[in-house]
Structure formats: C-alpha cells, structure tokens
Structure 1
Amino acid sequence: MSMIFSGRVVVVTGAAAGIGRATALAFAAQGLKVVVADMNVAHGEETVEHIKALGGTAVFVSCNVALESDVKRLMEQTLSTYGRLDYAFNNAGIEMEHGRLADGTEDEFDAIMGVNVKGVWLCMKYQLPLMLSQGGGAIVNTASVAGLGAAPKMSIYCASKHAVIGLTKSAAIEYAKKKIRVNAVCPGVIDTDMFRRAYEADPKKAEFAARIHPVGRVGTVEEVASAVLYLCSDGAAFTTGHALTIDGGALAI
C-alpha cells in the first residue's frame, strides 16, 4: 500500500484532542505539513507543539467550523502558509444529546447540526476549489456508526451523522472525474475525552460500551487515524464515496 505523503499539506479540524489530534500526529509522522484547526486555542497549540517536538511541521489556526468566515479564513491561511492543500480531515464535531427525541431543545438541534453538518459542508465548500485548482486531492469526513443506523436517545446527533454521509457520497460523485476523492470514517465507541465524559462516570455504561463491540473493547484514536491515512493515501485511489466503519464488528451483528 502506498503511503507516500512527504511534502504534502493537510488540514485537520477538531485537532485539539482525541481523534483529531491523533490523526494530525499520524499525518505529521508521514512527513506532511499539518494545519491544526480547532476552537480550543490552548489545546490546539499543544497539538502543534507535539508535532514539532517529533520533528514535524505544523501551524495552528483558530476556527469555528460553523462560521463561514472562520472556515474561509482557515483555507486562506492554509494557502498563504503552505501554498496548497492536498488532504483534509473534517473531524470537528459536537457531542450527542442524551434524551428522547421529544425532550430535545431547539438550541441542541442548532448546535449539533451547526457543527456536525454545516461545518462539514462549509469545509468542503472551501476545500474543493483549492483541490480543483491544483488537479486533485482527498477529503475524509468524520461520521459515525450512528450515521448508519438508529441511535436511541441521540436522535439529533444520529441525524447529523447520517447527513455527513450524505454530503460525503454526494461530493464524491460530483468530483469523481476531477481526481478528488471524498470518503467518511464511521467510528464506533472510541476512547476519547468525549467517551470518558459520557461513560466513565458510570462504570456500567463503560462496560456496556465495550460489550457492544464483538472484539470486546472500545477503539483507540490511533486506529481511527490509521483508517484516515489509508483513505487519503494512493493505496485507496479507487475508493471514493465510502463510509468506512471502524467499530470492532458492531454493525456486523
């Protein structure tokens, strides 16, 4: 499998922690120049420091992906700093709600959809023209196993991740002949800060989260990062419009 990335440029949103940080580090380890984007300035700059400590190249850009002006500025700074954009990992997302559909609020709906759906749409809206201008590229969006089925008591989050897959597939078809590939990753439960906030306060919930995966554990951020790098690599040159599950077999049941 070809994983030759040296000298190329990638934008990673939601890169201050968790899956985003792990993927930013993995890209940097392969020789890419990384644009680290997040709303959390302190942790985003910490990701850059980690990359530089390993001998990599990175810059931080503060960005709220739900704001068009922020996303436009992110892409402008990427171009002015590194001169190109080869890959994008649109990973920024907001946590799910915890309640039945009828108990949800309009504020919850707007917040989740604003980041998870509008954010991905805005990022691709500004990434695709850059990639077109240089003759190609690859985009990976973070969806979820919740985007491939039902998710009781997190209906808004579930709908947002279904929408991410819809955006991914549609963009993939639109740009298939333009040498731009667009795919999504659909993680199961992954050991992140978000996971710990949601489950570890209740050990029984944490145990259940592990049991829903036939492999008997939750996933790691590095396992998701590996999948993202594969989808960006030349080894996945014939793969576009795909929603790749990283779920320990959960959806195979």
Structure 2
Amino acid sequence: MQVRLLVLSLVFFSLQSFSQPFRWNDVSLIMQGAGYHSTILNPQYYTEEIDGVTPTLRFSGGVGLMYNFTENWAVSLTTDYQRKGQRFERYMRGETVTRDYKIDYLDVNLMGKYFTDRYVFGLGGYAGFLVREELRFKHDVMLGTQNFFNANRYNDLDYGLQAEVGVLLDLDYRTKATLSLFAMYGLSDINNERFQVDLLGEEYNPARNFIVGLRFTVYIITQPF
C-alpha cells in the first residue's frame, strides 16, 4: 500500500512540474472551434416585414500559430471558416415564413493575448473574405425547404474587432487549452452598393455582423527558438 502511494505521489509531482505557463520564445500550433450566436445588426432590408428574430446558432473551426514575446504576452494569427448571418421570421396569412441567411467567410484573425497561470485575455481584429452566401427559405405550408443562392448581395470583405476572456487548462507537458467567451463586432457594411440601391425610400444604415459565443482552443507548444 505504501509503495502504491509513493508511486502515485511521484507521478503527481512529476506532472505538476511539467505544468508551467508559456515561456518566452514559445511557438504554438493552434487548433480551435467555436459555437456562437450570430446576429446581423441593422438588418434594414426587412423593415416592417420582421416579426421575430430566431436565435441563430453557428459554428466555426480553424488553425493557426501563436508566438510568446514573454511568459505572459503573445500574438496569434489564425484562419477560421466562419458561418455568420441570421434567421428571421415573418407571419404571412396566418403562417410562419422563416428566412435563414447563411454567410460564410474565411476569417483571418490577428490577436494580442495576455496569459496568467489561470486565465487568458485577448484583443484584436479580423478580416473575413466571403466564400459563400445562401438564403434558405422555409414556409410551413410548403413541402420541404428550398435553397436560393443570392449573388451580388454581400461585400467580398468583412472586417472588425474581437475580444475574448477565458480559462487556461493544462492538458500535458506541451499541450494547453483555453475555453473562452468571445465576441466579434463588424466595422464594415456587409451589404454591397448594388444591393443598397434596392432600399428605396429608406434612410440607409450599414448592416454589420455581430457574434458572441464560446471558443475552445488547443495550443501545441513546439520547440522554442
């Protein structure tokens, strides 16, 4: 019994010795995934037609690199395939019509991060390049769902700011993870000029992407320089 306790104690303290914060000159490979609520701010092209905004759950995933300037400060560069957009409801003749606007981007994220032994704080920006746009129109009177692809509705570039705050997890000697609450706020108008012309008789306000959710990130630390 004493031998078992001794072995377990040695294993425990050995693992604790490897559980260290990031070090200066560490380079980490990043893999991350997120689930979030996606919103279009100022969706003016619906005006009075909107009767309800449906909570819209989206997902993203990506890879990247992080470099530590010190034990606490780092900068990361990641690329994510990110689905944005939103679902809206309209009641028409006693029935419910759902419009699901799916706007897919390839996002390039540049963030500065501050790590403590337990937490991570991040602030930075992103640039999203339009990959695909889809309108999924569903009416409960119709059979099934029809997909309509909308060309020339959205701008090819979406950019904005983002921030995160989360907890730091030690997985093993060279692998760490963070579970973070994050938000992304678009600074650019997602509607292109051609689509804006269709908004006749309205005082135009830019439509922007906004998302908030949870992001899980794994850091695999490579050999330092």
Class of the TM-score when normalised by the shorter of the 2 chains: under 0.3
Q: TM-score, structure 2 length as denominator?
A: 0.24
Give the number of the structure whose residues are more often helix, by fraction: 1
The structure carrying a bigger strand percent of its residues is 2
**What TM-score do you get using the length of structure 1 for normalisation?**
0.22
